[in-house]
Amino acid sequence: MKCQSILFTCLITLLVAACTSMPVRIPEASTNNNLLKSWQGPYGGVPAFDQMQLADLKPALEEAMAENLLDIEAIAANPEAATFENTILAMERSGPKLDRIFSYYGIWSSNVSSPEFREIQREMAPVLSAYFSSITQNQDLFARVKKVYEDSLKNPLEADQQRLVLLTYDGFASNGATLEGEAKDRYKAINQELAQLHTQFANNVLNDEEQYITYISSDQLSGLSESFINAAAKTATETGRDGEYAITNTRSSMSPFLTFSDERELRQKVWETYYSRGDNGDEFDNNAIIANILALRHERVQLLGYPNYATWRLENRMAKTPERAQALMDAVWPAALARVEEEVADMQAIADAEGADITIKPWDYRYYAEKVRRDKYALDSDEIKQYLQLDNLTQALFYVAGELFNFNFTPVEENSVPVFHPDVNVWEVTDKNSGKHVGLWYLDPFARKGKRSGAWATSYRTHSTFDGQKTVLSSNNSNFIKPAEGESVLVSWDDAETFFHEFGHALHSLSSNVRYPGLNGGIRDYTEFQSQLLERWLSTDEVINRFLKHHETGEVIPAELITKIKNAATFNQGFATTEYLASALMDMKYHTMDPAGLDVDRYERETLAELNMPEEIVMRHRSPHFGHIFSGEGYSTGYYGYLWADVLTADAAEAFAEAPGGFYDKDLAKKLVDYLFATRNSLDPEVAYRSFRGRDASIDALMRDRGFPVP
């Protein structure tokens, strides 16, 4: 449950690639537009992030789209009989210029956004949607794809080719290719409307994250760590409030403040500010947008003959049906609620013993949970942070990648690879034995204005070999609070797990051995599995003894502190599971209901009440800022996927725990890479997991892992 959606990737993944009904006109080319130029330099060419000019974006998109449409039209109009080579592979080769521009677009969207970019984004969202829709609804192109698909059922191709054909056909068939007449036109119009609404939703949330900052004074710092105080002072100075302390409206600032601040009224204020993002009754309010999004999604899938959005969305995922996804959540939900009741009782007991004269509220949960942690396990989260220094954790990532994947990470020569911000660092990835170049890894670690909150991974170039070797350009992005000059970046245990999690996505890209670019993706309730699994290596003895060292003394984290961490591994699982699962359940409810006349605020409250949601906890992502499902469609009706993937994760972790070499067992590591990482989407996930484990995963492992009763 660590990842955020990648907005633009979601749009592209949903739609596919190629065209006809859209007028084709090549705009006058600009030789000075750097976004249109082929990537130059070392490592097979790299993005010219240092030459990004926002004024180039719109003309670059227009020219690249027009060029690609001509290529696609040539495929659709080919007089020769449709074959894998002249149709599917030809589509795989199309649009390299547009792919490169999308890499720049994604940086502006997620890492360095600005009001000027958001205006271009608003303008271009429906244009891009129309472009993709005209491709998926190109009857001549779909007829060729369908012919190749039908021929492959009679005369099967090589395994990866067969899967590529299946995925391409499904991508067209499930996205309006079979529609005709008014239904076809309406489908296209809906996509354009949705593109605008998704963009507006995301930008509204970003606005509230940027504009709502809580400033506090020196007499309101009780309980906060020195490193947090120094970082908050630095942020306040940067925002023109020198002498004060800024609590920004992001999880990386909110969560530690709620955990450690002794100021209850301030905790409430920070909590309310964070959880009301997109829900402030102003021009940036997202409630009406959500209702429109759900209505349009429902109308669109009805055009395709589906009863609801969830049924359409899940038919090609591991869960297959909403009922199967719901059954998994229903199996875990009661145990999570029962654990919350126990956790709240423990917290209330401490509050009563202190004479606090309060009833535990949502803004108290993290604060008193920390007190319970100290009381039950003598475990202090701030004490742990002293051993979790970002540079050391980065080296820990490299160590694990070297042991499991045989990768070596070396910092690139200064200024040899352009970056979009001075905070970004780049490493070359090579094979440890052969020295062969694998790719580049970019890291953008710190929060800043214009950067969306959370943590995520993305790729600027994916692996393929069918047209010459193309190596991977992968990145990780975090929102750690940048420290004051000369101070270490210290993170929480949870943030360290997230760091490992997102690196798992990067390794998924870097380890790819697929031939075709179209096989580098994955299905949502499976692709989180690999990254969730990588979190487990943070607590291995090898990582602990080498990299979890005190940022000042260099001493390895004491064995007794590690014992406390492991003993407390299932601590607060009621909170963690319930806040996540509430969002996943709401996601499924939204997409299986009839959205006509929907009052979003009322529906959220009433549905959570029906689910017996504890009043001491709020959804991890309340509806008005639930970007996973409303700023794009990558996770929509898919947020349950983190839990589905966690079943696989817990089961696979038990396999490593039982292996002769433990988590560094060479034979099992090879199977991990060969079947679960390198294959990407070239192999059916169920087949891939059975090849690794020898059987299907069991929910029992998940329940054991969270300390819940095994059913």
Mark whether 443 and 534 lie in a shared domain.
yes
Mark whether 271 and 407 lie in a shared domain.
no
3-state class (DSSP) for residue 541: helix
Q: Give me the half-sphere count of Cα atoms (radius 13 Å) on the Cβ side of residue 431.
A: 8
Mark whether 116 and 39 lie in a shared domain.
yes
Please state, rounded to an integer, the average pLDDT across all residues of the chain.
Answer: 93
- Residues 370 and 374: their CA atoms lie apart, in Å, by 6
List the structure tokens of 531. 């990254």
Please report whether residue 311 resides in a domain.
Answer: no
The residue behind tokens 């529609």 is 179
Of 164, 230, 107, residue with least CA distance to 489: 230
- Picking from 207, 227, 260, the residue at the C-terminal end of a domain is 207
Of 252, 217, 225, residue with least CA distance to 482: 252
- One-letter amino acid identity for 474? S
Structural domain range at position 43:
7-207
Please report whether residue 660 resides in a domain.
Answer: yes
Please report whether residue 2 resides in a domain.
Answer: no
**Residue 43 φ/ψ region, left for φ over 0, alpha for ψ in the -120 to 50 degree band, beta for the rest:** left
280: which DSSP letter? S
**Cβ proximity of 307 and 313 under 8 Å:** no
- Picking from 529, 546, 563, the residue at the C-terminal end of a domain is 546
3-state class (DSSP) for residue 536: helix
**Cβ proximity of 584 and 621 under 8 Å:** no
Mark whether 485 and 338 lie in a shared domain.
no
The residue behind tokens 């003394």 is 553
The residue behind tokens 């105080």 is 229
Instruction: Give, in degrees to the nearest 5, the angle at Cα 78 between 72 and 84.
Output: 80
Complete DSSP assignment for 459-528:
EEE--B-BTB-B-EEEEEEEEEPPPSTT---B--HHHHHHHHHHHHHHHHHHT---SSGGGS---HHHHH
pTM above the 0.95 mark?
A: no
Please report whether residue 285 resides in a domain.
Answer: no
Of 193, 209, 244, 502, which is the active-site residue?
502
* pLDDT at residue 669, rounded to an integer: 98
Q: Distance between the two ends of the chain, CA-based, in angstroms?
A: 23
Mark whether 465 and 425 lie in a shared domain.
yes
Mark whether 524 and 441 lie in a shared domain.
yes
CATH of residue 80's domain is 1.10.1370.40
- Spell out, as residue ranges, where the chain has pLDDT lower than 50: 1-27, 29
Distances (CA, A) of 601 to 281, 282, 465, 622: 11, 15, 50, 10
CATH of residue 369's domain is 1.10.1370.10
* pLDDT at residue 31, rounded to an integer: 64
3-state class (DSSP) for residue 389: strand
Mark whether 201 and 67 lie in a shared domain.
yes
The residue behind tokens 């007991």 is 349
Mark whether 178 and 29 lie in a shared domain.
yes
Mark whether 527 and 601 lie in a shared domain.
no
- Picking from 257, 275, 293, the residue at the C-terminal end of a domain is 275
- Residues 373 and 154: their CA atoms lie apart, in Å, by 61
Provide the domain count of the chain.
4
**Cβ proximity of 696 and 689 under 8 Å:** yes
- Residues 291 and 199: their CA atoms lie apart, in Å, by 15
Mark whether 410 and 541 lie in a shared domain.
yes
Please report whether residue 21 resides in a domain.
Answer: yes
Mark whether 201 and 61 lie in a shared domain.
yes
Please report whether residue 288 resides in a domain.
Answer: no
Please report whether residue 453 resides in a domain.
Answer: yes
* pLDDT at residue 30, rounded to an integer: 56
CB-based burial label for 377 (10 Å; 0-12, 13-18, 19+): middle
How large a percentage of the chain has pLDDT more than 70? 96
- Residues 699 and 711: their CA atoms lie apart, in Å, by 9
Please report whether residue 711 resides in a domain.
Answer: no
Q: Which residues contact 709 (CB under 8 A, 6 or more apart)?
A: 335, 703
**Cβ proximity of 451 and 112 under 8 Å:** yes
List the structure tokens of 573. 């699982």
Mark whether 179 and 218 lie in a shared domain.
no
- Residues 179 and 296: their CA atoms lie apart, in Å, by 17
- Assess whether 502 carries a catalytic annotation: yes
